[in-house]
Copies of this chain bind each other. A is one copy, B any other.
Amino acid sequence: MHNSNSINHLASFATIDLFRQQRTGMPEIIYAASKTTAQTIAIAEHILSHHRRVLVSRATAEMVPALLAHFANYQITRGTADRIITIASPDSQVVAIQAQVGIIAAGTSDLPAADEAATVCYELGCQVHRVTDVGVAGIHRLFEPLRQLLLVPVDVIIVAAGMDGALPAVVTGLVDVPVIGLPTAVGYGYGAAGEAALGTMLQSCAPGISVVNIDNGIGAGAVAARIARLAHQARTKETSQ
C-alpha cells in the first residue's frame, strides 16, 4: 500500500512442500464473490496458461456475461444459478478414475450447492450420480433412487438439504458408505440461515455422517473427492500418497 520504504513487503519465499509434491486431484477454483470481473478474468487467464481447466465459483450476475464473452473459445459448463462455472480448453478432458460419487439434493433450492460439489468431483475424474427432489416431506420417494445408487455402487454420498435438513440423517441410516451432509441456507424464520439444517445433521442419530459448512458445496465435493481417490488408488494398487 504505502510505497514508503518504512514498510517492507517480505518476499514470499519459495518453500519446499514436503507433504504434497503434487496435488493429485483438487481442481483450481477461483472464488469470484469478492473479486471484480476484470480480476476474475485475469486470474482465470493466468490459470489457463498453466492448466487446461479452471472453475469459477460464486460469480455475480454481472460477471457471467463477461466471462462467457471473454472465454467464447472455451467449453463453458454452468451450474444452477451459475454458482459454479467450468472453463475448459476445447480439447481438454478430465482423466477418469475408478470411483463413483452419489449426490442427492433434497429440493431444487439445494441445487446450486449440490452442483458445486458435483463439479469438483467430476473434475477429479469421478463418475457422479445425481438424485434430486426427494426431501423428507415425502420420504417414500427416496427409496427407489437410493436403491439405484447402492446398485452402482457409489463409494460416497453427498446429501444437500436446507429447511429441516433431515434428509442426510435418513440416508445415513439406510446405507453403509460414508455420507457427507451439506446444509444449505434455505428456509425462513428460526434457523433460516441454514443453522437448523446444520444442527440436525451434526446431531444425527445414525453414525457414519460428517458435515461441511452451510452452502459449502466446494468443501463437500473436496471431501468426497479425497474419499473417491482413496478408493481409486486402492483399486488400482496406487499408494495413497
Chain A residues proximal to chain B, CB less than 8 Å: 1-2, 4, 6-13, 15-20, 23-26, 34, 77-80, 94, 96, 106-107, 109, 115, 118-119, 122, 126-141, 143-150, 153-156, 163-166, 169-170, 172-178, 180, 183, 185-192, 194-216, 218-223, 226-227, 229-232, 234-235, 239-241
Complex copy number for this chain: 8
Give the 7 A-B residue pairs with the shortest CB-CB distance, closest first. Answer: A189-B214, A196-B199, A207-B222, A234-B234, A166-B166, A189-B213, A210-B210
Write the chain B residue with the least CB distance to A198: B190
Given A26-B207, A218-B207; A200-B202 close (CB under 8 Å):
no
Which residues of chain B have C-beta atoms less than 8 A from A1's C-beta? 77-80, 115, 118-119
Q: How far is the CB of A28 from chain B (nearest CB, A)?
A: 12
- Contact, CB under 8 Å: B138 / A17: yes
- Contact, CB under 8 Å: B2 / A154: no
- Contact, CB under 8 Å: B155 / A166: no
Given A7-B127, A137-B172, A169-B137; A208-B222 close (CB under 8 Å):
yes
